[in-house]
Amino acid sequence: MTDPQKVLTERVQQALGRAFGSEYADADPLIRPSQFADFQANVAMSLAKRLRRSPREVAEAIKAELSDFPGTVEVSGPGFLNITLADGWIASEADEMLGDKRLGVGLSTPPQTVVIDYSAPNAAKEMHVGHLRTTIVGDALARLHEHVGNTVIRQNHLGDWGTPFGMLIEHLLDIGEPAAIAQLEAGQGTEFYQAARAKFDSDDDFKARARKRVGTLQSGDPETLRLWHVFMDATVRYFNKVYDLLGVTLTDADIAGESMYNPMLQKTCDDLEASGTAKISEGALCVFPPGFTGPDDKPLPLIIRKSDGGYGYATTDMAAIRYRVHDLKADRILYVVGSDQALHFRMVFAAAKMAGWLPDSVSAEHVQIGMMLGKDGRRFKTRSGESVKLMDLLQSAVDKAYALIAERGYDEETRKEIARAVGMAAVKYADLSVSHDSEYVFDLDRMVAFTGNTGPYLQYAQARIRSIFRRGGLDPDDATGPIRLGAAPERALALQLLGFGTVVEQATELSEPHRLCAYLYATASAFTDFFEQCPVLKEGVAPETRASRLALCALTLRVMETGLNLLGVPVPERM
Ligand code: ARG
């Protein structure tokens, strides 16, 4: 265990136990970074009342039990404990981290099975920017959970079923399969949908055909199912192009769309009705989870079978949650979906609990994704008011990155590769670096910038470290220290690096990748300070100093590289 905050927590808890009795040994010592020391512990203030002593006395008593502590402890103000770690301790922990493949990141014990429902675009429309964030945040969570040793089951809950498919299939027949396939593969799902919709609204004959087609689709007519597959396969090929460019880990094996649950829907409803969880209300089968009321104070229904006998979005989600708990054996289910569906998920979780399908041992969580806004502060749209095509947006990020590096002396091939990596880093990092539930403004120029808290800045920081080793003809793996801390920026960098384990564990546990982003940005900044003030390869640097600084460079590189990988941000060797 190298993380100072964890070490301190443990040490202070031991001190609490010794000073006040074992019942105090699990109190939270409230360790926080401090501007006056490395850390401060605020526990004395919180325990004073319970102990009937002044906070200062409590702080002094804790301090007395910390005499063997590797550093200095001071009591200040009303009862803060200011803690400064000894340089020697930091250096030896950093040395240990250098030899640790996991860089201080713990494994989850016991490992959990984590189902992550993410991306989930709708096939009846184009995959649009709204699904960009659910895809990117979900993928980072999948990578994080795998890294801490959990079993991750990705579930791409595609919108691939429902009444619009009647008109989509009829339109496909009208224009012919080859033309339809070409259009869908090219990402023109929205245009396809709009053309079908226009005919549906203006042409009674088409409308009748579309309605009939919904029936044959639902009854499982083989030819209709084949046409549905033609439509879906072409659409999924387009989704896969987007996933490929983004470097997202989703594959076809992770597709578990709404259609997958069709065979379970009737039983889902029957079981809910038989157990008394659902009842008929105004002709529809509904669950009324306690605590949910509408504007008129009437109980709010979760409709699982409409009065015309049709199933809906909620029916599928009830079937899905049962399947995920019962068949996939999930310990934890994360739904990475827009925050506008918060009520839906609260009701689904509550209904599943009522039915006994979601035991207390399993946690179902809605990881709410905030809306992406345009620079005008409104929902992100094109100038003509349509939603923006994802592929176009990604391409414009790559183009912008290309323009920024065009001057550099690389061959065309390398330039394209870097532009792609930088463009994706820009878009992905912008999505990840703000807390997932807050709205954020899509501003491509800011995202692609090489300065500030951006993906390209972090890529650049690690590429610069690589170039130090390249210039010296050295391999980072050979930089084994030992680390010694002289100048202040060396100490600050080493202390920062030791925090990696905790931040990865927290980002995973709390579903908050933005914590890892903030940490990596702070690390890159600490490295910049170090690099500006502490020459590494310059002539005249003493050999031990050089070895130590190279080791700090190597450790920073590994932390940055591992961290960016966990976020799904590409890590180019040079930029
Ligand atoms: N397709 C849905 C949408 O775009 C998201 C599905 C999320 N997952 C779920 N189990 N409901 O809004």
What is the complex's ipTM, to 2 decimals?
A: 0.99
C-alpha 449 – ligand 1 centre gap (Å):
32
pLDDT, mean of residues 367-373: 90
> Does the CB atom of residue 159 touch ligand 1 within 6 A?
yes
Please name every residue paired with 278 in a beta bridge, in sequence order, or none if there are none. 287
Residue 243, classified by CB atoms within 10 Å of its CB into exposed (0-12), middle (13-18) or buried (19+), is buried
Mean pLDDT of the chain: 94
Q: What's the angle, vertex CA 1, arms to CA 143 and CA 147, rounded to 5?
A: 10
Is the pLDDT at 386 greater than 90? The verdict is no
Length of the chain: 575
DSSP alpha helices (H): ranges in 176-312?
177-185, 189-202, 204-218, 222-246, 262-274
- Give the DSSP letter of residue 74: E
Please name every residue paired with 71 in a beta bridge, in sequence order, or none if there are none. 85
Residue 450 sits at φ, ψ, to 5 deg, of: -85, 0
> Does the CB atom of residue 120 touch ligand 1 within 6 A?
yes
**Ligand 1 pocket, mutate which of 153, 341, 371 (most atoms under 8 A from CB):** 341
> Does the CB atom of residue 134 touch ligand 1 within 6 A?
no
Q: Which two tokens stand for residue 32?
A: 């926080």
Task: Tell me which of 212 and 127 has the higher pLDDT.
Answer: 212
Distance CA 322, CA 335 (A): 14
**131 CA: nearest ligand 1 atom:** 4
Distance CA 196, CA 180 (A): 12
Is the pLDDT at 129 greater than 80? The verdict is no
C-alpha 337 – ligand 1 centre gap (Å):
6
Task: Tell me which of 286 and 391 has the higher pLDDT.
Answer: 286
Distance CA 332, CA 342 (A): 18
Split at pLDDT 50, 70, 90, the class of 2 is: low
Cis peptide, bond prior to residue 482, ω within 30 of zero: yes
Question: Which residue is closest in CA terms to ligand 1's atom 9?
Answer: 157
- Give the DSSP letter of residue 277: S
Is the pLDDT at 1 greater than 60? The verdict is no
Q: What's the angle, vertex CA 195, arms to CA 193 and CA 200, rounded to 5?
A: 90
Question: Which residue is closest in CA terms to ligand 1's atom 4?
Answer: 121
Question: Which residue is closest in CA terms to ligand 1's atom 11?
Answer: 317
Cα separations in angstroms, 83 against 63, 66, 67, 97, 494:
10, 10, 12, 22, 17
> Does the CB atom of residue 117 touch ligand 1 within 6 A?
yes
* Whole-angstrom Cα Rg for the chain: 28
Q: What's the angle, vertex CA 189, arms to CA 185 and CA 193, rounded to 5?
A: 145
> Does the CB atom of residue 320 touch ligand 1 within 6 A?
yes
DSSP alpha helices (H): ranges in 21-162?
43-51, 55-64, 87-98, 130-147
Task: Tell me which of 187 and 244 has the higher pLDDT.
Answer: 244
The per-residue pLDDT for 444 is: 84
Residue with tokens 């183009």: 399
> Does the CB atom of residue 256 touch ligand 1 within 6 A?
no
Residue 353 φ/ψ region, left for φ over 0, alpha for ψ in the -120 to 50 degree band, beta for the rest: alpha
